[in-house]
C-alpha cells in the first residue's frame, strides 16, 4: 500500500499496475493459506485495491475528457496554438498552425524540430535568443517576428508562451499562442516611416519650425531654428523670450499669452536675435492642435525671416511717402482712377483747386466719374467730356482735351486734361493716371499774343508799304501823267479845224486805259492795308507772283537785279488769302534784293519759280547774295541780319504760311546766296 501510494504520486499508470497486482495477490492468499486472520485482510486489501483502481480509471477518464475539451478550445482559437516539452520540442500544434505553415502535426512532433526554420532570417537570431533566455530563466516568452506562410510570403505575428511548472517548480512544458499582427505591424511600420520622413522633412526644411506645450512653453525646435538663433534647446527652454528684441518683447509676451488663453492662432512680426548677434525681422505664426473637447494638445509654429521683405516694404513706404509729397507739392492736379473710371486718388492741389474732397467726387454710391463731371465741369463742356472719358475707359486710348473746370470760388478756368492707362503683363487695363493743368493764363496770353501779332502784321504790312510808297507813287504817277497828256491831246484834236475825231477817240481811249491802270494800283494798295487779308478762296499762285513783280517793278529796276520768272503753267488751284500771300511774296523778294545790295560788280540774279510737288504748290525765291549762317534762326521773332531791320517780317510770313497749312523754309543756294521756299496744299481743282 505504501509503495503503491508513492508510485501513484509519480505515475498513475504505475499506480494502476500496483493496485491491480495488489488485488490479484490478495485474492490468491486465501487459496494458498487458509487462516482466520488472513482471509479477511486479503479481502479487505483486495477491495481497497479495486476501489483504488476504479478511482484511477475515473481520474483518467476525467483527465482525458479535460484534454479533449482543452484540445477543442485550442483548435478553435483564431491564433496559432502550440505546446512543447521541457526541452522546447513541439508536442502539439493546432490546425491553424498546420494550415498556415503547411506542415503536418507529425512533422512538428518530430524530435529536434523547433519551428524556427519558418521564422524570417532577419528575425531568427532575435527570436532564438529570446526563446533560449525564456527556457533558461523560466520566464514567459514574447516576441514579434515574421513567419513564413506556406506560399512563401511572410506575415508579422506576436508570439507569447508561458511555462507549465510542477509542484516542485520544474518546467514540464510550454504552452503558447501566436497571433497574426501583420496589419498592425505594417501600419506601425508605415507610421514609424511617416514619422521618420516627417522628422527628416522638418529637420531639413529651410523653414524654422517649433512646437510648444498647451501652456505655450517651447518643447521642440528644428535644427534650422536652432542654427538661426545660435542657441540650444535647453537655452530656449530656460529663456524663451530672450531671443526677442527688447523693444518687441512686451508686445510679444502679451500677444502670446492672450493667444494661449483664448486658444486662437498667433501671427505677429517682431525682431529676433540672429546667430551673429544682430536682430532681424521675423514673421512668427502658430496654431493650436485641439482635442475633441476643445483642449489644446500642442502648439505648432513657424518663423519666417522677412528682413529683406521688411526693408523692401520700408523703402516702398518711404518712396510712396516721397511720391505722395511730390504729388501734393506739384503745381498740377494729379488724379488716378480704376480701369472702369472709378476715382481712386486726387492729390491735395486738385482738391484745393476744386474745393471738394475725393469722397465727395466719388459720389454717394461710387458711380465713377459722373459726379466729378457734373460738379466740376462747365455745363457746356460736360457732354463732350463725358463721351470722351467713356470712350477711353472702354478702349484704353489716351485722354487729351481741354475744358472749363470749376474752381473752389465758383469760377471757371480753362484746363488741359491728359491721362494714360497702365496695363498689366497681360495687356489688361490696370490703372488710369491723369494730370490737370490750369492753362487759363496761357490761353489769355495766347489770345493777347495773337491780337498783338495781328497788330504787328498790320504794322509790318504798313512798313512794307512805306518802302514801296515811292514805287507805288511812280506807278500811279505814270498813268496819271498819261491821263493828263491824252486828255490834253484829245482836247487839241477836238479843237482842230476840222476836228480830228479819230485821233481824239484814240487819245480818249489811251486816257481811259491809263486811268484804269491807276485804279488797279490803288486797289492793290487797299488790299495790303485792309485789317484782314480777306476771305480765302481758290486761285492760281502764278497770278500772285506776277502781281508782286508788278508792285516791285520799280524797286527791282532800281536795285539793278536781273529778274527771272519761271512759272509752271499747269499748277493746281490753291485756297489762300490773296492779300496775305502777296504780302509774303513782297517781303521775301525785298529781302532777296537787300541781300544782294552789298554786291559790287557781281551779278545780282533774282529767280522766282513756281512748281508742282506732289499735291502741293511750291514757290521759291533765289538770290545770289552772301547767304545766311543760320537758315532757321532767321524765322525767330526780332532776329535780323539788317542794320535797320525789325526782325519780325519772316516770323510773320511763316505764321501766315502755316495758317494756310503750308510750310516756309530757307536753304543755302549754290554757288552762293539763299533760297526761300514756301508750299501750300493744292485744292485739287484745275488751274
* Other residues' Cβ atoms within 10 Å of the Cβ of residue 362: 19
* 218, pLDDT greater than 50: yes
Residues 6+ apart with CB under 8 A from 168: none
Cell numbers given for 151: 506560399
Single out the residue of 6, 3, 37 nearest to residue 22, CA to CA.
3
Point out the least confidently predicted range of 105-109, 500-504, 550-554: 105-109
Average the pLDDT over 335-349 and give the result. 83
Residues 385-407 pLDDT 10s: 888 888 888 888 898 889 999 89
**562-567 and 605-613: which strand pairing?**
parallel
Give yes or no for residue 3 having a pLDDT over 60.
no
Query: If pLDDT is split at 50, 70 and 90, which confidence band does 531 have?
Result: very low
DSSP 8-state class, residue 415? E
pLDDT at 286: 94
The closest of 319, 215, 232, 238 to 275, measured between CA atoms, is: 232
Task: Using the Cα atoms of residue 579, residue 580, residue 583 and residue 589 in order, give the sign of their dihedral.
Answer: negative
Instruction: Let me know if 105 is exposed, middle or buried by CB neighbors in 10 A (0-12, 13-18, 19+).
Output: middle
Is the pLDDT reported for residue 1 higher than 60?
A: no
Q: Kindly indicate the confidence band of residue 497, based on its pLDDT and cuts at 50, 70 and 90.
A: confident
Q: pLDDT grade, residue 10 (50/70/90)?
A: very low
Report phi then psi at 362, rounded to 5: -70, -30
Spatial contact of 373 and 361, defined as CB atoms under 8 Å apart: no
The distance of Cα 138 from the centroid of its chain, to the nearest Å, equals 76
Check pLDDT > 70 for residue 528: no
What distance in Å separates the CA atoms of residue 628 and residue 673, rounded to the nearest whole number? 8
At 362 the pLDDT is 64
- Average pLDDT on 596-623 reads 86
For residue 626, what pLDDT is reported?
Answer: 79
Please list the residues that pair with 575 across neighbouring strands. 538
Give the tens place of pLDDT for each residue, 79-133: 788 888 788 777 777 888 778 877 766 666 564 445 677 889 999 899 889 988 9
Q: What is the pLDDT of residue 52?
A: 67
User: What pLDDT does 499 receive?
Assistant: 84
344-349 long-range contacts (CB < 8 A, ≥24 apart) are 344/431
d(CA 38, CA 10): 30
pLDDT above 90: percentage of residues in the chain: 15
Q: Name, of 245-259, 357-371, 642-656, the range with top average pLDDT.
A: 245-259
Mean residue pLDDT of the chain comes to 80
> Once rounded to an integer, what is the mean pLDDT over residues 438-461?
73
Q: pTM for the full model? A: 0.39
The β-bridge partners of 336 are 345, 433
Assign 644 a pLDDT band (cuts: 50, 70, 90): low
pLDDT at 487: 83
Q: Quick check: 486 and 507 in contact, CB under 8 A? A: yes
Among 94-98, 174-178, 314-318, 528-532, which stretch is predicted with the lowest mean pLDDT? 528-532
Instruction: State the average pLDDT over residues 252-262.
Output: 92
| 528, 465 contact by CB (below 8 A) | yes
Amino acid at each position: 500500500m505504501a509503495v503503491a501510494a508513492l508510485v501513484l504520486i509519480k505515475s498513475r499508470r504505475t499506480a494502476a499496475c500496483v493496485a491491480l497486482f495488489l488485488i490479484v495477490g490478495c485474492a490468491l492468499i486465501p487459496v494458498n493459506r487458509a487462516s482466520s486472520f488472513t482471509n479477511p485482510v486479503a479481502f479487505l486489501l483486495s477491495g481497497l485495491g479495486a476501489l483504488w483502481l476504479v478511482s484511477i480509471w475515473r481520474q483518467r477518464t476525467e483527465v482525458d475528457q479535460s484534454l479533449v475539451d482543452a484540445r477543442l478550445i485550442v483548435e478553435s482559437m483564431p491564433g496559432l496554438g502550440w505546446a512543447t516539452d521541457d526541452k522546447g520540442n513541439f508536442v502539439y500544434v493546432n490546425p491553424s498552425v498546420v494550415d498556415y505553415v503547411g506542415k503536418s502535426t507529425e512533422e512538428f512532433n518530430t524530435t529536434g524540430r523547433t519551428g524556427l526554420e519558418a521564422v524570417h532570417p532577419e528575425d531568427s537570431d532575435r527570436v532564438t535568443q529570446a526563446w533560449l533566455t525564456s527556457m533558461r530563466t523560466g520566464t514567459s516568452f514574447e516576441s514579434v517576428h515574421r513567419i513564413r506562410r506556406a506560399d512563401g510570403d511572410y506575415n508579422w505575428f506576436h508570439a507569447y508562451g508561458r511555462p507549465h511548472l510542477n509542484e516542485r517548480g520544474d518546467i514540464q512544458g510550454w504552452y503558447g499562442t501566436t497571433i497574426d499582427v501583420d496589419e498592425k505591424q505594417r501600419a506601425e511600420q508605415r507610421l514609424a516611416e511617416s514619422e521618420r520622413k516627417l522628422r527628416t522633412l522638418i529637420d531639413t526644411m529651410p523653414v524654422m519650425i517649433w512646437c510648444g506645450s498647451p501652456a505655450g512653453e517651447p518643447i521642440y525646435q528644428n535644427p534650422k531654428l536652432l542654427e538661426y538663433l545660435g542657441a540650444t534647446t535647453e537655452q530656449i527652454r530656460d529663456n524663451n523670450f530672450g531671443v526677442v528684441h527688447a523693444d518687441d518683447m512686451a508686445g510679444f509676451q502679451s500677444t502670446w499669452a492672450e493667444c494661449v488663453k483664448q486658444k486662437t492662432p498667433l501671427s505677429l512680426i517682431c525682431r529676433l536675435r540672429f546667430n551673429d548677434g544682430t536682430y532681424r525681422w521675423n514673421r512668427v505664426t502658430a496654431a493650436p492642435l485641439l482635442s475633441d473637447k476643445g483642449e489644446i494638445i500642442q502648439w505648432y509654429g513657424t518663423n519666417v525671416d522677412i528682413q529683406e521683405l521688411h526693408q523692401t516694404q520700408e523703402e516702398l513706404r518711404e518712396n510712396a511717402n516721397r511720391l505722395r509729397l511730390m504729388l501734393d507739392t506739384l503745381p498740377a492736379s494729379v488724379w488716378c482712377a480704376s480701369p472702369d473710371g472709378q476715382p481712386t486718388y486726387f492729390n491735395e492741389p486738385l482738391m484745393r483747386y476744386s474745393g471738394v474732397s475725393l469722397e465727395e467726387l466719388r459720389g454717394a454710391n461710387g458711380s465713377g466719374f459722373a459726379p466729378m463731371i457734373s460738379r466740376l465741369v462747365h455745363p457746356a463742356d460736360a457732354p463732350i467730356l463725358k463721351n470722351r472719358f467713356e470712350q477711353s475707359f472702354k478702349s484704353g486710348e489716351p485722354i487729351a482735351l481741354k475744358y472749363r473746370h470749376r474752381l473752389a470760388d465758383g469760377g471757371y478756368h480753362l484746363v488741359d486734361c491728359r491721362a494714360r492707362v497702365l496695363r498689366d503683363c497681360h495687356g489688361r487695363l490696370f490703372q488710369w493716371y491723369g494730370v490737370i493743368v490750369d492753362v487759363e493764363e496761357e490761353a489769355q496770353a495766347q489770345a493777347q499774343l495773337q491780337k498783338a501779332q495781328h497788330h504787328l502784321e498790320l504794322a509790318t504790312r504798313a512798313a512794307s508799304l512805306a518802302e514801296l510808297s515811292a514805287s507805288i507813287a511812280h506807278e500811279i504817277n505814270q498813268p496819271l501823267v498819261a491821263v493828263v497828256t491824252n486828255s490834253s491831246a484829245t482836247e487839241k484834236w477836238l479843237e482842230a479845224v476840222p476836228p480830228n475825231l479819230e485821233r481824239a477817240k484814240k487819245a480818249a481811249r489811251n486816257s481811259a486805259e491809263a486811268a484804269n491802270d491807276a485804279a488797279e494800283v490803288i486797289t492793290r494798295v487797299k488790299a495790303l492795308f485792309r485789317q484782314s487779308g480777306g476771305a480765302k478762296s481758290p486761285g492760281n499762285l502764278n497770278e500772285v507772283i506776277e502781281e508782286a513783280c508788278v508792285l516791285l517793278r520799280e524797286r527791282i529796276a532800281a536795285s539793278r537785279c536781273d529778274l527771272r520768272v519761271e512759272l509752271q503753267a499747269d499748277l493746281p488751284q490753291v485756297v489762300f488769302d490773296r492779300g496775305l500771300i502777296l504780302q509774303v511774296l513782297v517781303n521775301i523778294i525785298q529781302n532777296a534784293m537787300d541781300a544782294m545790295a552789298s554786291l559790287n560788280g557781281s551779278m545780282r540774279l533774282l529767280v522766282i519759280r513756281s512748281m508742282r510737288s506732289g499735291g502741293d504748290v511750291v514757290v521759291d525765291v533765289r538770290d545770289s547774295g552772301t547767304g545766311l549762317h543760320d537758315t532757321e534762326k532767321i524765322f525767330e521773332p526780332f532776329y535780323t541780319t539788317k542794320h535797320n531791320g525789325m526782325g519780325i517780317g519772316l516770323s510773320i510770313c511763316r505764321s501766315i504760311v502755316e495758317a494756310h497749312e503750308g510750310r516756309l523754309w530757307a536753304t543755302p543756294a549754290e554757288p552762293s546766296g539763299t533760297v526761300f521756299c514756301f508750299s501750300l496744299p493744292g485744292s485739287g481743282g484745275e488751274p
